[in-house]
A and B are shown apart, each in its own frame.
Chain A
Amino acid sequence: MTNETDRTEDEGLEAVFARARAAAPAPRPAFLETVMGDALAEMPRFVPQHTAAWTLGGMLRALGGWSMGAALGGAAAAGLAMGYYDPAALGPSLGVSDGTVLSASVDEPLLGFLGEEES
């Protein structure tokens, strides 16, 4: 009987709780605005939303802008080309019409990179 009484009274108490939950007043707007004001005042210094570093714009900005980016890009492309193409194919660009590698002194630091057909 005690358990049943407890259960009944708990149901009654739960009804009181349910009514209290439903009747809970909303916060005053002024209170919420005060809290929001505190949030903004305490916020670490606002950092402008620049382009993220991992985007093209972010990387170019880090390099010093479009002109520097273009110069570096061109240098990179030239380096790739030198390493990739057959030196003979570069003949016309070096002023040699028959593909002969220009002779140079052994002191020339780039000789070792011009392939096997060195004269």
Chain B
Amino acid sequence: MTASDPDPRARDAALLAAYAAGDAAAARTLVEAHAPRALALATRMLGRRAEAEEVAQEAMLRLWRAAPDWRAGEARISTWLYRVVSNLCTDRLRKARTVALPEDYDAPDDAPGAQAQMETDERADALQKALAELPERQRLAIVLRHLEERSNGEIAEVMELSVDAVESLQARGRRKLRELLGAIVE
């Protein structure tokens, strides 16, 4: 006889409650389950591993602080965390665009800093560069669907949009990626 899988929200709430009660094992479980996801999304959005680690660490810090007040049934940790990461990434990207550069500033190579740490696979680099060309919301919708493999329902929750709006962003994003990636896609 097998018990049915507990509701993910209830499971997440129980884990956070255990963490808030001082359970170090619960902390380890949460780190292993969620820190890599936060880092993966931040890396895809920002393209720079060091920056992505800062964002992911900050997002996890907010999770620890939210744990004592986490209410069962409110949200899944993954959904909540993706939303925090995407907001932090948006903040960073906006600041990067508004910082004034000196006149004689030689703009650094736009290649993502993560390039040094990612595989030398030409296609992986090309994808990351192409993602960087997409508007942020298209990039987020594409990354969550095709790289993080989240459902469009969850993506809609993360982005606080309707599922239709998410699918529209993804369709436009894919069209743009096909143009940018060209021969690689064939």
Query: Cβ of A20: which chain B residues have Cβ within 8 Å of it?
Result: 123-124, 127, 147
Residues from 7 to 35 in A contacting B, C-beta threshold 8 Å: 9-10, 12-14, 16-17, 19-21, 23-28, 31-32, 34-35
CA distance A47 to B149 in the complex (A): 39
Residue of B22, B36, B119, B184 near A45 (CB, 8 A) is: B22
Question: Is there an interface contact between B177 and A13, defined as CB atoms closer than 8 Å?
Answer: yes
Question: Is there an interface contact between A42 and B178, defined as CB atoms closer than 8 Å?
Answer: no
Residues from 31 to 61 in A contacting B, C-beta threshold 8 Å: 31-32, 34-36, 38-40, 42-47
Q: B112 to chain A: closest CB distance in Å?
A: 12
Interface of A is mostly: helix
Question: Is there an interface contact between B117 and A25, defined as CB atoms closer than 8 Å?
Answer: yes
Query: Cβ of A25: which chain B residues have Cβ within 8 Å of it?
Result: 117-119
Question: Is there an interface contact between B123 and A35, defined as CB atoms closer than 8 Å?
Answer: no
Question: Is there an interface contact between B35 and A43, defined as CB atoms closer than 8 Å?
Answer: no
Interface of B is mostly: helix
Residue of A10, A27, A38 near B174 (CB, 8 A) is: A10
Residue of A10, A13, A42, A47 near B64 (CB, 8 A) is: A42
Query: Cβ of B22: which chain A residues have Cβ within 8 Å of it?
Result: 43-47
Q: A41 to chain B: closest CB distance in Å?
A: 8
Q: A35 to chain B: closest CB distance in Å?
A: 5
* A17-B147, A31-B35, A43-B19 known; A38-B60 Cβ under 8 A: yes
Residue of A34, A35, A42 near B65 (CB, 8 A) is: A42
Residues from 114 to 168 in B contacting A, C-beta threshold 8 Å: 117-119, 121, 123-124, 127, 146-147, 149
7 nearest A-B pairs in the assembled complex, by CB-CB distance: A42-B64, A12-B185, A46-B22, A39-B27, A17-B146, A35-B35, A35-B60
8 residue pairs of the A-B complex, CB under 8 angstroms, read: A9-B186, A13-B181, A16-B181, A23-B124, A27-B39, A32-B31, A35-B57, A45-B22
Binding site for B on A (CB under 8 A): 9-10, 12-14, 16-17, 19-21, 23-28, 31-32, 34-36, 38-40, 42-47
